[in-house]
């Protein structure tokens, strides 16, 4: 009978050791999760701060629609001015000597407008 008690104690002792090991493993996992939670909390605070900064900056921006309207008006103005320059050049043949003498060599009749509304720089070969 004494041997039976010792055998039972040994089995319980082994089981208790297994449970203590399992508790230790779970405690390690809990510690890792707490560290990850703290880290994610810091990340959330940082992202929230960045979001507030970006929202503040966005208040000073204009919409794409407004940019497109401004671009359209700019291109219309360039076209009107180009047409006016062409009209003035063709209407005053007497002043053509001034233009060809070098004072207005960089004026072109049809300026090149790149995508986005940028005017291509003048070049001497564009005549």
Kindly state whether residues 49 and 92 are assigned to the same domain. Answer: no
Q: Does 31 lie in the same domain as 17? A: yes
CB atoms within 10 A of CB 119: 14
Q: Is residue 125 part of a domain?
A: no
User: Is there a single domain that holds both residue 72 and residue 54?
Assistant: no
Beta strands in the chain (DSSP E): none
Tell me which residue of 111, 56, 104, 52 sits closest to 80, measured CA to CA: 111
Residue 127 belongs to some domain of the structure? no
Q: Mapping DSSP to helix (H, G, I), strand (E, B) and coil, where does residue 113 land?
A: strand
What is the residue range of 33's domain? 1-61
- Note the pTM of the prediction, 2 decimals: 0.38
Per-residue pLDDT of the chain (127 residues; tens, 9 = 90+): 889 989 999 999 999 999 999 999 999 999 999 999 999 988 999 999 999 999 988 888 888 999 999 999 999 999 999 999 999 988 875 455 555 555 555 555 555 666 666 666 555 454 4
Count of structural domains within the chain: 2
């Amino acid at each position: 009978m004494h041997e039976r008690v010792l055998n039972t104690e040994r089995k319980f002792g082994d089981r208790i050791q297994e449970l203590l090991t399992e508790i230790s493993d779970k405690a390690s996992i809990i510690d890792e999760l707490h560290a990850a939670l703290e880290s994610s909390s810091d990340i959330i605070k940082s992202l929230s701060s960045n979001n507030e900064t970006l929202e503040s900056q966005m208040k000073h921006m204009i919409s794409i629609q407004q940019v497109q309207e401004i671009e359209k008006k700019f291109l219309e103005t360039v076209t009107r001015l180009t047409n006016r320059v062409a009209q003035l050049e063709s209407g005053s043949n007497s002043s053509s000597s001034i233009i060809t003498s070098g004072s207005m060599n960089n004026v072109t009749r049809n300026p090149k407008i790149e995508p986005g509304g940028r005017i291509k720089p003048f070049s001497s070969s564009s005549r």
